[in-house]
């Protein structure tokens, strides 16, 4: 069978489920008594098992199967969670993650799972012999407030008496009992997938008690075309029938009521069985809520990201033509044409917004992997840290999301390694032993900010200075005149690393300068603030999108340049006599601040053209980089426009003060000015 | 056997003129030949980088080959052409005086380049082909488009 077409879907969904498992495992670790987390984990593990078996990844299926057995015991309160068990489960999840990565890279997803499998089996077996009675007894007490749910697994074990018992109980509660025979089309390609969908449907409407053949056999496609299910539901048979027939490639559904005359409940088992069976009858209420929620959130489709990129590229072409049309319409000056063009511009503006938002993804995707990293890291470092994530729903362009993971990872590791003190030190300093790192994302204007804040020791200025002098980054003579802020900025200097001992965590030869250059390559910026003894905050500023930006077009002699609106504070016109000199540098007084002037004509060595005559006034664009400002002197402002960012290509790299190019309405190329490079 | 040899033994090249010499680049490396259009100057780049053009939506850098080979400059004319070549991931336009011919050259007619041909350093050349009365200089584009040199120039100027 050709599985390739399902492989992408499998990989995507596996990643999602693994993410869900990881998140819930962490929740569970903090709140071990909460069975809802276990249920979530179980559900994801179960889906993973089914999918991997269908796709033929045997090792993954085996491992998830064993993990599922352990989880089953936990959620049925037959097994208490210990940190040892958690570790084994985490280990298994890591292994599964490795397999998914292997599959993504074209591997066959095989791995040695015997270790974890053995451990998982030992957990299951050990608990069965030693503690089953205790567990059964304790289950009675707990299950009233926390009804455990029972899924397909019930049918997996050969529990004939048990099944009958359940059926009998359900009947008494007014449920319909039925024996369903589902027959698939002869030419059905994905028998396991179809039968999984059948189970999924059935579980949303009632409870599967038993299957023939077993669920495992069905999932591994070890059946001809039909399988049978013992089923309990509140709904009438017709509804069940139509629900199943809604699934494609189903040939026939036969539903027979189950008579319970033959149900002779074995007396000796009654006491215990009743206890275990009790949760089952409550299951439909317990499970219906999440299922409905799923349906509501399910109004989405998966689109290949390449297609979105193509759409974006095509739209960029349209934006360029729009600019051209607008210009032509102005030149021709016919009002009907202008109206039409204006209307088209408005519509394409709306279209642009939709396309851009379509590419937006919550930063959650990136943030999700950090709790796990922090958990592992604090064990290695013997520190206690609580990671608080705020604003994970904040959205960013996908291209930015893809790139931002590593820099954030680095900053978090840095905070944990250098920022947060050891528990003993913290106690001495009168702080709680457990440190806090806050990872916060929020929107502001055309930017998204991401903040990494710790309540650790703060930056040791003297040590930073000393190191900077040692490394030759700062001239010892100039060191005294540096402000606190300038000293903090030294952390981002190339070749700087404050870790006294090069550790595995953040001293791998790459420093914060890599973080800085990465973020700047995304058109963003990063800054740091720190109060000694109270903590350090890194603030990253990122543009919302990287493909279409608003820019101010300016003219310098015969050349046109684009200045991104995001770095412009204001445009202004000054008389020549308002320009002053300070230290052989032209400056102006802008709202009470002295702002240095930068002449684009000089910086870019623009050839002088005859057509531009000398004016009494100069046009200035005030731009900023963080706290600093500069005034760019141009000849005239052309106007504000949406421009499409294009790269200069691989041949021209690292052009000074130019971040890219765009194509104007007249088909010519205009260069985009990188204001950050112009402000020192 | 004879036919086979003929296919292997010939290369198709695009012939262009630079000053008084004729040069050739392999057809496989040429994407298109364009007329001269508006070039946007890119400041602070080496002198032979004339700027960038909009080539059907792609911003493409343009090199003046006369400048590149340190030949004397000339005014662009009606016959001036831009040959768009692709080498690996690079796509660059070369300004030449004229481009007007496609010919087949037998591989055995190609000789290693002499030290200096028409003032162009041998390192930029793949060889010289003799055809009847014409002498065709074959360019080594990898070398001509090497970005190493741009970086070095940057370092010197910066």
Q: A612: closest CA among A636, A577, A592?
A: A636
C-alpha distances in Å from residue B7, one per residue of A163, B12, B106:
78, 10, 9
pLDDT band (50, 70, 90) for residue B97: very high
> What are the tens digits of pLDDT across the range A318-377?
888 888 888 889 889 899 999 999 999 899 888 888 887 888 888 988 898 888 888 888
> What are the tens digits of pLDDT across the range A141-199?
433 343 444 333 333 334 466 666 667 777 777 777 788 888 888 777 777 777 878 88
pLDDT band (50, 70, 90) for residue A560: very high
Specify the DSSP class assigned to residue A492.
G
pLDDT at A554: 94
User: Average of pLDDT values for A98-107?
Assistant: 82
User: Chain A closest CA to B43's CA: distance in Å?
Assistant: 5
Candidates B31, B34, B40: best to mutate against A (most CBs of A within 10 A) is B40
Rounded CA separation A319/A665 (Å) = 9
Cβ within 8 Å, pair B145-A667: no
Cβ within 8 Å, pair B42-A671: yes
In three-state secondary structure terms, A186 is coil
ipTM of the complex: 0.86
User: Average of pLDDT values for A574-583?
Assistant: 88
The beta-carbon neighbor of B52 closest among A320, A607, A669 is A669
Report whether A411 contacts A515 (CB < 8 A).
yes
User: Chain B closest CA to A660's CA: distance in Å?
Assistant: 9
Cβ within 8 Å, pair B92-A658: no
Cβ within 8 Å, pair B92-A661: no
pLDDT band (50, 70, 90) for residue A132: very low
Rounded CA separation A458/A536 (Å) = 5
Please check the confidence at residue A459 and state whether its pLDDT lies above 60.
yes
User: Average of pLDDT values for A262-270?
Assistant: 42
Most confident of A146-150, A231-235, A613-617, A657-661: A657-661
C-alpha radius of gyration, chain A, whole number: 33
With CA atoms as reference, the chain B residue closest to A645 would be B59
Counted residue by residue, chain A has a size of 680
Report whether A415 contacts A398 (CB < 8 A).
no
Number of other CB atoms surrounding residue A591 within 10 Å:
10
Catalytic positions of A, please? 46, 68, 414
pLDDT at B37: 87
pLDDT band (50, 70, 90) for residue A292: very low
Q: CB distance from A608 to chain B under 8 Å?
A: no
Q: Residue A595 corresponds to which tokens in the numbers above?
A: 């702002």
Instruction: Provide, as residue numbers in chain A, all residues whose Cβ is less than 8 Å from the Cβ of B147.
Output: 650-651, 653
Half-sphere exposure of residue A539: CA atoms within 13 angstroms, side-chain side: 13
Chains A–B, number of C-beta pairs less than 8 Å apart: 80
Sign of CA dihedral A350, A352, A355, A356: negative
* Max Cα–Cα distance, chain B, nearest Å: 58
User: Chain B closest CA to A32's CA: distance in Å?
Assistant: 55
CATH 3.40.50.10190 fits B8-157, yes or no: no
Look at the domain A149-296 and name its fold.
Alpha-Beta Plaits (3.30.70)
User: Chain A closest CA to B39's CA: distance in Å?
Assistant: 8
> What are the tens digits of pLDDT across the range A386-420?
999 999 988 888 878 888 888 898 888 888 888 88
Question: Which residues neighbour A199 within 8 Å (Cβ) at sequence distance 6 or greater?
Answer: A152, A208, A215
pLDDT at B149: 62
Instruction: Provide, as residue numbers in chain B, all residues whose Cβ is less than 8 Å from the Cβ of A561.
Output: none
Instruction: Provide, as residue numbers in chain A, all residues whose Cβ is less than 8 Å from the Cβ of B90.
Output: 649-651
Q: CB distance from A605 to chain B under 8 Å?
A: yes
pLDDT at A479: 77
More confident residue, A209 or A633: A633
Rounded CA separation A7/A54 (Å) = 11
pLDDT band (50, 70, 90) for residue A4: low
Cβ within 8 Å, pair A655-B38: no
pLDDT band (50, 70, 90) for residue A596: very high
Half-sphere exposure of residue A581: CA atoms within 13 angstroms, side-chain side: 2
Q: Which sequence spans correspond to the domains of chain B? A: 8-157
Cβ within 8 Å, pair A669-B92: no
What value does the mean pLDDT of chain A take?
78
pLDDT band (50, 70, 90) for residue B153: low
pLDDT band (50, 70, 90) for residue A298: low
User: Chain B closest CA to A543's CA: distance in Å?
Assistant: 23
Partners of A537 in the beta sheet?
A453, A529
Q: Is the pTM of this model over 0.90?
A: no
pLDDT at A133: 39
> What are the tens digits of pLDDT across the range A420-456?
888 888 888 888 888 899 999 988 766 789 999 999 8
Rounded CA separation B110/A391 (Å) = 67
Q: Is the peptide bond before A213 cis (omega within 30 degrees of 0)?
A: yes
The beta-carbon neighbor of B59 closest among A559, A603, A669 is A669
Chain B interface, Cβ < 8 Å to A: 38, 40-45, 49, 51-54, 57-61, 89-92, 145, 147, 150-151, 154, 158
The beta-carbon neighbor of A669 closest among B40, B91, B151 is B40
Sign of CA dihedral A396, A398, A403, A406: positive
With CA atoms as reference, the chain A residue closest to B42 would be A671
pLDDT at B150: 59
- The proportion of chain A whose per-residue pLDDT surpasses 90, expressed as a percent, equals 11
CATH 1.20.120.160 fits A1-145, yes or no: yes
Question: Which residues neighbour B32 within 8 Å (Cβ) at sequence distance 6 or greater?
Answer: B84
pLDDT band (50, 70, 90) for residue B116: low
Cβ within 8 Å, pair B43-A656: yes
Q: Which of residues 632-661 of A touch B (CB under 8 A)?
A: 646-658, 661
Please check the confidence at residue A561 and state whether its pLDDT lies above 50.
yes
pLDDT at A440: 93
CATH 3.30.565.10 fits A362-543, yes or no: yes
Helices (H) and strands (E) in chain A, counts: 23, 22
Instruction: Provide, as residue numbers in chain A, all residues whose Cβ is less than 8 Å from the Cβ of B59.
Output: 646-649, 661, 663, 669
The beta-carbon neighbor of B41 closest among A559, A651, A657 is A559
Crossing angle for the helix pair A398-414 and A512-521, nearest 10 degrees?
A: 160
Partners of A179 in the beta sheet?
A230, A256
User: Average of pLDDT values for A616-638?
Assistant: 88
Please check the confidence at residue B79 and state whether its pLDDT lies above 60.
yes
Q: CB distance from A320 to chain B under 8 Å?
A: yes
Question: Which residues neighbour A321 within 8 Å (Cβ) at sequence distance 6 or greater?
Answer: none
Cβ within 8 Å, pair B90-A649: yes
Instruction: Provide, as residue numbers in chain B, all residues whose Cβ is less than 8 Å from the Cβ of A323.
Output: none
- The proportion of chain A whose per-residue pLDDT surpasses 70, expressed as a percent, equals 83
- The proportion of chain B whose per-residue pLDDT surpasses 90, expressed as a percent, equals 35
User: Chain A closest CA to B106's CA: distance in Å?
Assistant: 32
Q: Which sequence spans correspond to the domains of chain A? A: 1-145, 149-296, 305-359, 362-543, 548-678
User: Chain B closest CA to A659's CA: distance in Å?
Assistant: 11
Report whether A49 contacts A42 (CB < 8 A).
no
User: Chain A closest CA to B22's CA: distance in Å?
Assistant: 26
More confident residue, A274 or A398: A398
User: Average of pLDDT values for A256-264?
Assistant: 59
pLDDT band (50, 70, 90) for residue A3: low
The beta-carbon neighbor of A648 closest among B38, B57, B61 is B61
With CA atoms as reference, the chain A residue closest to B86 would be A651
Partners of A395 in the beta sheet?
A362
Please check the confidence at residue B50 and state whether its pLDDT lies above 90.
yes
User: Average of pLDDT values for A242-255?
Assistant: 80
Please check the confidence at residue B43 and state whether its pLDDT lies above 90.
yes
Number of other CB atoms surrounding residue A312 within 10 Å:
21
Most confident of A83-87, A371-375, A559-563, B73-77: A559-563
pLDDT at B13: 92
pLDDT at A517: 80
User: Average of pLDDT values for A613-621?
Assistant: 82
Instruction: Provide, as residue numbers in chain B, all residues whose Cβ is less than 8 Å from the Cβ of A647.
Output: 59
The beta-carbon neighbor of A663 closest among B54, B89, B154 is B54
Cβ within 8 Å, pair A669-B150: no
pLDDT band (50, 70, 90) for residue A99: confident
More confident residue, A620 or A302: A620
More confident residue, A132 or A558: A558
């Amino acid at each position: 069978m050709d599985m390739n077409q399902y492989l992408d879907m499998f990989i995507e969904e596996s990643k999602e489920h693994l993410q869900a498992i990881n998140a819930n495992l962490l929740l569970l670790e903090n709140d071990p008594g909460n069975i809802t987390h276990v249920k979530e984990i179980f559900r994801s593990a179960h889906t993973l098992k089914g999918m991997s078996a269908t796709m033929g990844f045997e090792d993954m299926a085996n491992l998830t199967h064993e993990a599922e057995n352990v989880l089953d015991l936990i959620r049925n309160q037959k097994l208490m969670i210990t940190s040892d068990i958690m570790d084994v489960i985490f280990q298994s999840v890591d292994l599964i993650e490795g397999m998914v990565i292997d599959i993504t890279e074209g591997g066959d997803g095989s791995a040695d799972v015997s270790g974890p499998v053995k451990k998982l089996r030992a957990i299951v077996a050990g608990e069965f012999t030693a503690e089953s009675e205790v567990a059964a007894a304790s289950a009675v007490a707990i299950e009233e407030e926390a009804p455990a749910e029972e899924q397909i697994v019930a049918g997996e074990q050969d529990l004939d008496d048990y099944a009958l018992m359940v059926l009998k109980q359900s009947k008494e509660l007014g449920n319909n009992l039925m024996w369903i025979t589902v027959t698939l089309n002869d030419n059905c390609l994905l028998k396991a997938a179809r039968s999984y969908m059948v189970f999924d449907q059935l579980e949303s409407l009632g409870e599967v008690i038993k299957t023939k053949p077993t669920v495992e056999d069905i999932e591994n496609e070890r059946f001809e075309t039909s399988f049978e299910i013992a089923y309990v539901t509140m709904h009438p048979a017709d509804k069940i029938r139509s629900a199943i027939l809604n699934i494609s490639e189903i040939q026939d559904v036969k539903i027979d009521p189950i008579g319970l005359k033959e149900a002779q409940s074995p007396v000796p088992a009654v006491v215990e069985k009743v206890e275990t069976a009790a949760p089952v009858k409550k299951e439909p209420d317990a499970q219906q809520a999440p299922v409905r929620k799923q349906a509501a959130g399910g109004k989405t489709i998966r689109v290949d990201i390449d297609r979105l990129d193509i759409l974006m590229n095509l739209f960029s072409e349209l934006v360029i033509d729009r600019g051209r049309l607008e210009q032509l319409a102005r030149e021709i000056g016919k009002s009907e044409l202008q109206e039409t063009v204006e209307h088209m511009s408005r519509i394409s503006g709306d279209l642009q917004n939709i396309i851009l938002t379509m590419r937006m993804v919550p930063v959650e995707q990136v943030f999700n992997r950090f709790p796990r990293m922090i958990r592992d890291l604090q064990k290695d470092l013997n520190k206690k840290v609580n990671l608080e994530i705020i604003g994970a729903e904040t959205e960013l362009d996908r291209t930015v999301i893809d790139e931002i993971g590593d820099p954030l990872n680095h900053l978090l590791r840095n905070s944990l390694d250098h920022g947060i003190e050891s528990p003993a030190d913290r106690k001495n300093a009168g702080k709680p032993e457990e440190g806090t790192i806050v990872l916060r994302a929020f929107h502001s204007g055309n930017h998204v900010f991401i903040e990494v804040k710790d309540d650790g020791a703060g930056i040791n200025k003297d040590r930073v200075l000393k190191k900077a002098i040692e490394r030759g980054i700062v001239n010892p003579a100039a060191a005294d005149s540096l402000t606190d802020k300038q000293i903090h900025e030294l952390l981002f200097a190339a070749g700087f690393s404050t870790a006294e001992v090069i550790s595995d965590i953040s001293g791998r030869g790459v420093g914060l300068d890599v973080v800085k250059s990465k973020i700047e390559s995304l058109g963003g910026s990063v800054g740091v603030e720190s109060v000694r003894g109270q903590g350090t905050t890194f603030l990253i500023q990122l543009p919302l999108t990287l493909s279409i930006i608003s820019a101010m077009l300016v003219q310098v002699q015969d050349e046109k340049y684009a200045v991104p609106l995001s770095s412009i504070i204001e445009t202004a016109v000054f008389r020549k006599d308002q320009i002053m000199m300070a230290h052989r540098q032209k400056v102006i007084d802008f709202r009470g601040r002295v702002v240095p002037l930068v002449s684009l004509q000089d910086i870019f060595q623009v050839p002088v053209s005859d057509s531009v005559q000398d004016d009494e006034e100069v046009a200035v664009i005030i731009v900023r980089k963080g706290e600093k400002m500069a005034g760019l002197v141009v000849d005239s402002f052309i106007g504000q426009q949406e421009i499409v960012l294009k790269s200069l290509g691989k041949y021209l790299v690292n052009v000074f003060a130019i971040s890219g190019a765009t194509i104007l309405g007249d088909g010519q190329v205009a260069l985009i000015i990188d204001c950050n490079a112009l402000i020192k | 056997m004879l036919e086979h040899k003929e296919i292997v033994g010939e290369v198709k090249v695009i012939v262009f003129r630079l000053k008084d010499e004729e040069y050739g680049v392999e057809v496989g490396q040429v994407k298109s030949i364009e007329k001269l259009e508006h070039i946007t100057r890119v400041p602070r780049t080496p002198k032979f980088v004339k700027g960038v053009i909009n080539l059907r939506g792609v911003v493409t850098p343009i090199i003046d080959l006369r400048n590149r080979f340190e030949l004397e400059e000339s005014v662009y004319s009606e016959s001036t052409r831009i040959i768009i070549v692709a080498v690996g991931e690079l796509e660059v336009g070369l300004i030449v005086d004229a481009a007007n011919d496609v010919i087949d050259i037998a591989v055995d007619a190609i000789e290693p380049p002499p030290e200096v041909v028409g003032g162009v350093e041998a390192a930029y050349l793949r060889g010289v082909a003799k055809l009847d009365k014409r002498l065709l200089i074959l360019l080594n584009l990898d070398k001509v488009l090497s970005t190493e040199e741009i970086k070095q120039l940057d370092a010197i100027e910066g």
